[in-house]
Structure 1
Amino acid sequence: MTGIGVALLLGVVAGLRTMTAPAAVSWAAWLGFLQLDGTWLAVLGYRFTPFILTALALAEFVTDLLPSTPSRTVPVQFGARLASGALCGAAVGLPAGQLVAGIVAGVIGAVIGTLGGAAARGRLAAALDRDRPAALLEDAVAIVLAALAVWVLS
């Protein structure tokens, strides 16, 4: 899988769960799989960054289950997912000299993950007559895809 493919994949993850993708990128940078030292994204590889972003991702998993959580397609939620996808795409594209392509791929992936994830979760929740199992399955898919992206970067 090319760097642009990984950027697209991380964008999909960002569309599913906003903070999971940056957490994965941060772990890849911290583990040395993604070289961001000396760039404006070097902060993603700092000592505490992966732990902070992982804590935020875990908090998002919990808040996603709350009935008061707004839809991912409302402007603020959708925008956050696009920004997350762009950031992750930039982090993957920058070391390869493909910053713009990485950003574009990350944003496209975020749109796919946001709209596709919402549709898939809605169908699954309707079939199961409950949203929680669908949400937990979506969490699992986001984690597996994020882990796959980190593995590909290694």
Structure 2
Amino acid sequence: MTQALVILLALLIGVVAGLRALTPPAAVAWGGLLGWINLDGTWAQWVAHPITVAIFTILLIGELITDQLPKTPSRKVPPQFAARLISGGFAGAVIGTAWGHPWTCLGAGLVGAVLGTLGGAQARGWLATKVGKDFPAALTEDVIAVVGGFAVVALASAL
């Protein structure tokens, strides 16, 4: 049962990557630093280093700011989409590594990133249309991504 839950969490962290590409690396880094996921002695132990956590946190804050700019490209253009795939796969693999399923969880993170990218764009567009402005929709998506990313990693600690 634990393997299925780990794969589900990897899928969910991938969905978060589809919303905000840099949230999952920051979330798994914080999870490793705080001991929510045990990365000691694995290929991913560097993720939990305080310098890595600081860098990913700064990058996350930068993404939250730049996403609000009018010239920010769509998440569906190839470079943006690729960044979300890489981020989702990476974060999924980090979560999976803690429970011995890095490759399966890398795949789940990739699938989640596709779902989050396409679904997130659709949901944000719908909300922006309903509200009449993109800014509130973008802020809502920011909150969902950050809270969701850290919630997934916190849930991983309960396994």
**TM-score, structure 1 normalization:** 0.96
Q: What's the Cα RMSD here? A: 1.1
CA distance in 1, matches of 2:98, 2:143: 29
The CA deviation string for residues 11-48 of structure 1, in whole angstroms up to 9 with x for no partner, is 01111000011100000111112121222211111122
1:21 aligned to 2:29?
no
**Runs of 5+ consecutive residues of structure 1 not aligned to the other structure:** none
What pairs with 1:81-120 in structure 2 (closer than 5 Å)?
A: 81-120=84-123
CA distance in 2, matches of 1:147, 1:92: 12
- Secondary structure, in 3 states, of the residue corresponding to 2:50? coil
What pairs with 1:69-80 in structure 2 (closer than 5 Å)?
A: 69-80=72-83
Which residue number corresponds to residue 61 of structure 2? Answer: 58
CA distance in 1, matches of 2:34, 2:156: 10
Residue 5 of structure 1, CA deviation: 1.2
| Residues paired across the two proteins, number | 154
Q: Which amino acid aligns with 2:149?
A: A
- Secondary structure, in 3 states, of the residue corresponding to 1:18? coil
Residue 96 of structure 1, CA deviation: 1.6
CA distance in 1, matches of 2:150, 2:62: 18
CA distance in 2, matches of 1:56, 1:47: 14
CA distance in 2, matches of 1:88, 1:80: 12
Q: Which amino acid aligns with 2:8?
A: G
CA distance in 2, matches of 1:99, 1:46: 19
Residue 128 of structure 1, CA deviation: 1.3
The CA deviation string for residues 131-153 of structure 1, in whole angstroms up to 9 with x for no partner, is 00000000011012112112212
Which residue number corresponds to residue 48 of structure 2? Answer: 45
**TM-score, structure 2 normalization:** 0.93
Q: Which amino acid aligns with 2:31?
A: A
- State, as a whole percentage, how many aligned pairs show the same letter: 50
CA distance in 1, matches of 2:54, 2:92: 20
